Structure 1
Amino acid sequence: MIAEYDDWDAVAMAAEVAKGSVSPAELLDEALARVAARNPALNAVVLVQEEKARAAIAAGLPEGPLKGVPFLIKDLGCEAVDFPSHNGSRLLANTTYGRDSAIFERIRATGVVTFGRTTSPEGGVGPATEAAVYGGPTRNPWNTDRTPGGSSGGSGAAVAARIVPAAHGSDGGGSVRIPAASCGLFGMKPTRARLPDGPYAGEGWAGMAIDGFLTRSVRDTAVLLDACAGADLGAPYWAPPLGEGHVAAIARPPRRMRIALCDTTLTGTMIHADCRAAVHSAARVLESLGHRVEPARPAADTRGMMAAWTKIVGCGTALSVRRALAAKGRDLAPGDVEDVARSAIAYAKGISGADYLDAVGKIHAYGREMAAFFQDWDILLTATLAEPTAEVGRFAHAGIGYEDYRMGPGMVFDYSPFCAAFNASGQPAVSLPLHWTGDGLPLGVHLAARFGADEELIALSAEVEAVAPWATRRPLLDRP
């Protein structure tokens, strides 16, 4: 057992490897021991490839900034030759790849030791991780009756449980930020097209989806984003260029900013009292740092955006199933997919090509409406979720139709009314773990910035982390 493992973030762990005080093989042993001890209660780590990880160490790891750090990639996207994937679906179980994705190549170049994947819901749809292909739900280390969020819930649970210090995720409607909020972690969705999508896709969900990371520290996310940023060959569009990069940005305080405080949903609906308290507590921290915080709420058509998002993602789900069936040369069979995906296929059949393009146009219009709001404000401060982390089972994919799952009363958009706004607008956004409920559940606070202002947003996050640190808070877990 490595006693300090719980205390090291990825940057600190790599520094210990560089000093020679611990080896990559010893860190992998520790991570695997933690999988054996902690994963049975969580069901977060799957498809472990220990031999591939040991072979990578033996071959010599890249001289990157995170050399030797154990790492996990989400079981959705991040295609890699050495890491077969279920993609959260029985239909796609044990998918193999002929080449590595650009995002995985860049992650590997940091020197991390990837040894497995983390669970995701089928199709990446939903704020919980409960895919049938994994034999049961993924659970939250802070309270195993609660979800760790979704769709990067397995990564959130694995990092919160101190199995690894950081893990890969992706975010098409909050799928990094929701697990960050649920698991007491830092999560950032970069500006649209900041990270590569190829070669397996040109864009995800009409440009709303992007990769990201679940980390315990802001600096770990900064290092990973700097290592992975930039378009891959043939990308359909690029993000605005970075300045000095995320790591340089967090090395000094940002300028004093104008921060809009919204303690309701973006449509004016009340949120849970604990979430509202988290927003006001964060506002006091920001004011103490000299930022100007005042109440304000965007006038953008958020309900219209949600309806358009639902159409686009429904079509994306249907397309992924169609491609999988074409590769297998057969029709959809009972048990291939869960109820939400099956319903999404039927839902997508009622959406014409013109309807789809109209939905994309509404997403683009929403981005312009949000950009207009950010002419007067540097940051929008909200909660990450409208209520504390949901109980396991509430967002399961069984027994409900796709449209009701997303848009129905008490369902996804009522629970998570903030995150998807910034997938639609393409703006960078973060969830900071600044609040805990009376019964010990973490609550996230959400900050969003102008399109392209990733460095300014992560610098603000680091400034807040310095005065309101969270890394020492951890769930009660049995040691390996």
Structure 2
Amino acid sequence: MGARIHAFGDDALGEHDAVALAELIRRGELGAAEVAKAARERAAVVNPELNAIVVQPDTARVSGEREALLYGVPTYVKDNTDLAGLPTQHGSAAWTARPAKSDGPYAAQLMGTGMTVLGKTTLPEFGLNATTEFADAPPTRNPWDVEFSSGASSGGSAALVAAGVVPIAHGNDGGGSIRIPAACCGLVGLKPTRGRHLDGPQAKSMPINLVSEGVLTRTVRDTATYFAAAERLWRNPALPPVGLVEGPARRRLRIGVLSEPITGAPLDPQVRAVLDDTVALLEDLGHEVRPLGYPVDRGFAQDFANYWEMLAFLLGVTGKFSFDPRFDAARLDPFTRGLGSRFRSSAWRSPAILYRLSRVRHAYAASFRDVELIVSPVLASPTPPLGYLSPAQPFEEVFDRLLAYVTYTPLANVTGAPALSLPLGASDAGLPIGVMFSAAHGDERTLLEMAYALEAARPFRRIQD
């Protein structure tokens, strides 16, 4: 086994979460520059091994008003989101990105919460893989064990938060890309309802928008406070407000359990044990838990895989227009090229696939006639060792492994529903295992209330212990 690595220490950051840091800065006990300096020093200690940072300029970006809920809290932005003056490379070697001329819409919303942006974090090429690894560059490593994957596609952000460099970092989720790294790195990862936050240009260009923006944190209150802070800057009038959720609700819920992977692949016994333990905890807390059938049939998994292939194909053929005239599709990594090649043989099915996927939201909504939440694993097995899902491995081998591994998260992306990963267990090797809670459209509040209750009943493991 590899080493566990973290940066927690006796400095300005201490062991504080984002809410505590913001309060100390607000009271004048800490300065925003002092906290940012401590975070940069922590990054200098652990990033040479974690490889989670793409770029960190000499000057941090302090943003927002001092009254903002998260003023002065240091953070990083995932490198598929524009920040003025920094390149946006999307984890790809297909071109060399120029510095962005302005902040992307979501980056502006994130910075309006008051956080200090230190730089940008790694992701696999275009976020298409479930591990932050590269064909021709060092991988991003999991701080709980540096021989293992940090998940993806927000793997760089997850590694930095788990290692204590910053308490909160940006992620986005198009197939599990907030929830998967949260599960792998022992974090709280809430994928919001589609449209809850401002979208980036790539999300708007998708035939079916899969992507939601959010953050990864170590505490429930950090996630809840971020959602409240972002909502003060912009709120989608089509969705009910989340507000500032500050603790668990007193009501007892009806919760449905999805246990078996929709693909028919086996569920790892270690993951099943964590799910069963979570179900027992929910019952101890007074909730009614019952088995639930999938709102979709096994064909959904194949439709999602075909859509995933379509997105890779479109990236290859439109890259010169979407990213840079110098974009060279031949320099895409083998996994992206493999996905695109698979699509060519099934392109004629696309209209039917898009139609079926667009209808899934109705079946999903019907699931909540008799339950308020759904609980399931995040992933079908614990986080794998580095190399298992590497884009340098034979494409068909990696593709089949991903289909077996990432079976639970895509449903929320296709339907646009909110879903939350909580670090409620561990593998035999001591690596975190996440449990996922899914809710009806617009009901992030119930997810956060449940998260508070579970965090209090079973405090999350700490990497520094």
Residue number in structure 2 paired with 1:271? 267
In structure 1, runs of 5+ residues without a counterpart are none
Q: Which moved more, 1:27-36 or 1:124-133?
A: 124-133
Encode CA deviations 1:417-468: one digit per residue, 9 max, x unaligned.
1011111222111111011223211110111111221111111111211211
* d(CA) in 1 for partners of 2:415, 2:329: 37
Residue number in structure 1 paired with 2:449? 459
**SS of 1:421's equivalent?**
helix
Residue number in structure 1 paired with 2:427? 437
**SS of 1:368's equivalent?**
helix
1:387, CA displacement in angstroms?
1.0
Residue number in structure 2 paired with 1:44? 52
Pick one of 394, 404, 414 that aligns with 1:400: 394
In structure 2, runs of 5+ residues without a counterpart are 1-8
Taking structure 1 as reference, are residues 443 and 330 closer, same or farther at Cα in structure 2, changes over 3 Å only?
closer
Letter of the 1:365 counterpart: R
Letter of the 2:38 counterpart: E
Encode CA deviations 1:459-478: one digit per residue, 9 max, x unaligned.
111121121111x51157xx
Letter of the 1:20 counterpart: G
TM-score by length of 1: 0.88
* d(CA) in 1 for partners of 2:260, 2:272: 7
1:369, CA displacement in angstroms?
2.2
Taking structure 1 as reference, are residues 167 and 92 closer, same or farther at Cα in structure 2, changes over 3 Å only?
farther
TM-score by length of 2: 0.91
1:250, CA displacement in angstroms?
3.6
Encode CA deviations 1:220-251: one digit per residue, 9 max, x unaligned.
11122233349989xxxx684223x242x344
Taking structure 1 as reference, are residues 25 and 227 closer, same or farther at Cα in structure 2, changes over 3 Å only?
same
Residue number in structure 2 paired with 1:7? 15
Residue number in structure 2 paired with 1:83? 86
* d(CA) in 2 for partners of 1:114, 1:331: 28
Say if 2:36 is the partner of 1:28. yes
1:93, CA displacement in angstroms?
3.5
Letter of the 1:206 counterpart: I
Letter of the 1:32 counterpart: R
* d(CA) in 2 for partners of 1:6, 1:363: 46
Residue number in structure 2 paired with 1:68? 72
Taking structure 1 as reference, are residues 250 and 269 closer, same or farther at Cα in structure 2, changes over 3 Å only?
farther
**SS of 1:25's equivalent?**
helix
Encode CA deviations 1:314-338: one digit per residue, 9 max, x unaligned.
222233333333464457364x210
Residue number in structure 2 paired with 1:340? 335
Say if 2:311 is the partner of 1:321. no
* d(CA) in 1 for partners of 2:89, 2:375: 36
Contact kept in structure 1, 2:88 and 2:97, CA below 8 Å: yes
Matches within 5 A, 1:261-410: 261-266=257-262, 269-301=265-297, 303-326=298-321, 328-329=324-325, 332=328, 334=330, 336-352=331-347, 355-401=349-395, 405-406=398-399, 408=400
Residue number in structure 2 paired with 1:107? 110
**SS of 1:146's equivalent?**
strand
1:274, CA displacement in angstroms?
1.1
1:48, CA displacement in angstroms?
0.5
Encode CA deviations 1:199-219: one digit per residue, 9 max, x unaligned.
565254612111111100111
1:388, CA displacement in angstroms?
1.1
Taking structure 1 as reference, are residues 232 and 306 closer, same or farther at Cα in structure 2, changes over 3 Å only?
farther
* d(CA) in 2 for partners of 1:20, 1:73: 26
Encode CA deviations 1:367-391: one digit per residue, 9 max, x unaligned.
2222222222221111111111101
Taking structure 1 as reference, are residues 132 and 106 closer, same or farther at Cα in structure 2, changes over 3 Å only?
same
Taking structure 1 as reference, are residues 254 and 132 closer, same or farther at Cα in structure 2, changes over 3 Å only?
farther
* d(CA) in 2 for partners of 1:115, 1:314: 34
* d(CA) in 2 for partners of 1:231, 1:24: 21
Letter of the 2:334 counterpart: D
Contact kept in structure 2, 1:206 and 1:312, CA below 8 Å: no
* d(CA) in 2 for partners of 1:180, 1:81: 27
Contact kept in structure 2, 1:87 and 1:93, CA below 8 Å: no
* d(CA) in 1 for partners of 2:439, 2:356: 21
* d(CA) in 2 for partners of 1:20, 1:2: 19
Encode CA deviations 1:155-205: one digit per residue, 9 max, x unaligned.
110000001100000111111001000001000111122111145652546
1:111, CA displacement in angstroms?
1.1
Contact kept in structure 1, 2:258 and 2:292, CA below 8 Å: yes
Encode CA deviations 1:256-281: one digit per residue, 9 max, x unaligned.
11111233223555411111111111
Residue number in structure 1 paired with 2:3? none
Encode CA deviations 1:268-315: one digit per residue, 9 max, x unaligned.
5541111111111111221122110122232521x3222222222322
**SS of 1:144's equivalent?**
strand
Residue number in structure 2 paired with 1:242? 240
* d(CA) in 1 for partners of 2:303, 2:378: 21
* d(CA) in 2 for partners of 1:202, 1:333: 22
Q: Which moved more, 1:200-209 or 1:41-50?
A: 200-209
Q: Which moved more, 1:267-276 or 1:169-178?
A: 267-276
Letter of the 2:240 counterpart: L
* d(CA) in 2 for partners of 1:60, 1:149: 31
* d(CA) in 2 for partners of 1:331, 1:194: 32
* d(CA) in 2 for partners of 1:21, 1:230: 26
Pick one of 178, 181, 186 that aligns with 1:179: 181
Which 4+ stretches in 1 moved above 4 angstroms?
59-62, 198-201, 229-233
**SS of 2:148's equivalent?**
coil
1:47, CA displacement in angstroms?
0.5
Pick one of 190, 194, 198 that aligns with 1:196: 198
Letter of the 1:104 counterpart: A
Taking structure 1 as reference, are residues 317 and 450 closer, same or farther at Cα in structure 2, changes over 3 Å only?
same
Contact kept in structure 1, 2:75 and 2:169, CA below 8 Å: yes
* d(CA) in 1 for partners of 2:53, 2:371: 40
